[in-house]
Amino acid sequence: MNALILGMHKFYPSLLVFCLLAVFQVSAQSSEKFQIHSHNDYLQTVPFWTAYSAGASSIEVDLILKDGKLMAAHEAASIDPKRTIESLYLDPISEGIESGVISSINFHLLVDLKTEAYASLEVLLESMKDYEYLLYGAKNPAGLKLIISGNRPKPEDYGNYPEWMLFDYQSMELTNDLPWDKIGMVSLSFRQFSIWNGKGRIVEEQRVKIQNFIDLVHSFDKSVRFWGSPDSKSAWKAFHEMGEDYINTDHPIEAADYLSKLGTNIYQNTSKHEVYMPKFEVDGADVPVENVILMIGDGNGLAQISSALFSNDNQLNLTQLKNMGLIKTQAADDFTTDSAAGATAYATGEKTNNRAIGVDPDGKPLANLPDILDGYGFSSGIITTDQLTGATPASFYAHHPERDDSDQIAAYLPKSKLDLFIGGGGDTFESELGSLKSAGFTLLESLEQTEADRLGYFAAKGSLPKKLDGRGDYLLNSTVFAFDFFDQKDAPFFLIVEAANIDSGGHANSTSTIVSEMLDFDEVIGKVIQYVDANPNTLLIITADHETGGVSIPQGDIPSSTVELAYHSDDHTGIMVPVFAYGAHSGDFRGVYENSAVFHKIMNLVKQYHQK
């Protein structure tokens, strides 16, 4: 890649610009949010354009005066005659403006002089005469500024230089009598304040010392930068939070990408809920299992659960439970499962191919839990925040090799043994309404109890909104409604409750969606645990079909209910997912096992206590 770029730079300079902007494009950010200083930018494979494409506001070039020219190098031994401030910076800037690639100059050059200041500046002034049209001035307020660092003239001489030339002040002694109108920024070595290496958290005493200096510089209405500072995500975030104006980095693309996503990756929860304390009176007891409730958090891995925990006063209903295990999620044809294969394993006890709904790897229909349990006198129901043709709910009633064939999947609902369904996607079932009614379903306009044996409720014509977009307590109210419905039937029941949008948050790398959807799910979990305590012959199983996003939690703050999530992917991963159980025989779900084993554990208990 580097060889290709260098070859393009030699023969196709204009093409190079456009390719770099495409390859290195990051989220657009305003300078008020963060500013990057591209340290020793001339050492990048492609100087200037790498920093520019990252949105760097400050770009550093070291200059050595040799034979009357200013060479871009740190020491004399590394001088290359072709690498000058003109060739690496001034000419590309000029070409960029002429071609329209650079629409405005929203950056400055920090010129670090490695040779004697006055002689070097004399040559620099002469060199800049060919680029006066680029430079800042009263007639060009949007022009390019140069900030002189390294070897500099005496502060009392700053005023002898043109208005486009400012200076980098490097002292902790800040007084009102300094020539502030000619000071472009204040820079100091980070080691004057701290020995922190950018891992973990900076010692508080050192952090306060840095913060105080930043505040002091800001009191003079000037910008601050630290050189020799740690160059990591933890460091970038810490400096950003402290208000460093130009965050020093040798990795401008990575730093800009990380900092641009902080607003999405960090979430502070302001809607906390109380946690119900389980009674544990029959938890794990070998008592008859009359009801089975399977709750599936789509995409809900350990990091997603943890993020909700830390955002809710360090406690969840889910994390009160004692019986837990880990589930391996692989599909029949792929290491990383999708929701169709994952849910089919739960519904049928057989692993299948990704995208397949209720069929085996050869496309043959598999009997699912609602169909099988009907033979044991069970009623069954599905509640989801997804559309009812979504992969997870559909796996419990349909048999089709392609999850996206919504119309074909919808046709299976009237043929199912379900007694209750609640979810979105009503428009997909327009042609099935007659069949649903003929099958004995009463289709509700709202969640109001009725004497009917079979009920269906399309909660939305299409997709339901996310929790943060106004879904309200839909999932909680639907679950309470289902309990009332099944209690009236006076028969054992099997209920699936899916929180579908945790997965959506993982795909979108949206921390706010993950946390809010998981917290919504946890409120429902608390209500279900209460139901189990009141109905001790009930088994509750809570798990996920897979993890989504490759989520980790690099930072957080429990007192303020704030978490930062990081993402390895925008897709599913193959990591094991937790399984929690409560109530009758909940201890049977401890251990590490395949997702298909959940079906068989349920069926073993059904066969133990029920007859066909």
Condensed to tens digits (0 to 9), the pLDDT of residues 33-53 reads 899 999 999 999 999 999 999
Q: What's the confidence (pLDDT) of residue 459?
A: 97
CB–CB of 190/230 below 8 Å? Answer: yes
CA separation for the pair 476, 401 (Å, rounded) = 32
Give the C-alpha separation, 524 to 533, whole Å: 14
pLDDT of 9 higher than 70: no
| 485-509 residue pLDDT tens | 999 998 999 999 999 999 999 999 9
Q: Residues annotated as binding site?
A: 298, 392, 498, 503, 507, 545-546
**How large is the C-alpha radius of gyration of the chain?**
32
pLDDT category at 21 given cuts 50, 70, 90 is low
Confidence of residue 27 (pLDDT cuts 50, 70, 90): very low
- Residue matched to tokens 């007659």: 434
- Please say if the pLDDT value at position 372 is more than 50: yes
Average pLDDT value for residue range 10-27? 46
Residue 29 has pLDDT above 90, yes or no: no
pLDDT band at 260 (very low <50, low <70, confident <90, very high): very high
pLDDT at residue 12, rounded to an integer = 41
User: What mean pLDDT is predicted for residues 592-599?
Assistant: 98
Q: Are 384 and 418 in contact (CB under 8 A)?
A: no
Helix spans in 261-301 (H):
262-265
Residue 76 has pLDDT above 90, yes or no: no
Annotated binding site for Zn(2+): 298, 392, 503, 507, 545-546
pLDDT in tens, 332-362: 999 999 999 999 999 999 999 999 999 999 9
Structural contact between residues 216 and 201, judged by C-beta atoms closer than 8 angstroms: no
Q: Give helix 13-23 / helix 2-11 axis angle, nearest 10°.
A: 140
Share of the chain above pLDDT 90, in %: 92
Query: By mean pLDDT, which of 241-245, 447-451, 479-483 is the weakest?
Result: 447-451
- Supply the pTM of this predicted model: 0.89
Q: What is the model's pLDDT at position 32?
A: 47
Alpha carbon 571 to chain centroid, angstroms: 11
Residue ranges and CATH numbers for the domains of the chain are 24-265 (3.20.20.190), 284-557+593-609 (3.40.720.10)
**Quick one: pLDDT band at residue 251, thresholds 50, 70, 90?**
very high
What are the percentages of helix, strand and coil residues in the chain, rounded to 5? 40, 20, 40
How much is the mean pLDDT over the chain? 94
pLDDT of 22 reads 47
Write down the catalytic residue from 339, 379, 510, 561.
339
pLDDT value, residue 28: 39
For range 164-183, the mean pLDDT:
97
Active site residue 431: no
pLDDT above 90: residue 65: yes
Q: What phi and psi, each to the nearest 5 degrees, are found at residue 573?
A: -125, 170
- The pLDDT assigned to 450 comes to 83
* Tokens at 57, concatenated: 């506001």
Whole-number pLDDT of residue 448: 87
Structural tokens at position 439: 């099958």
Average pLDDT of 76-82?
89
Residue 2's pLDDT is what? 40
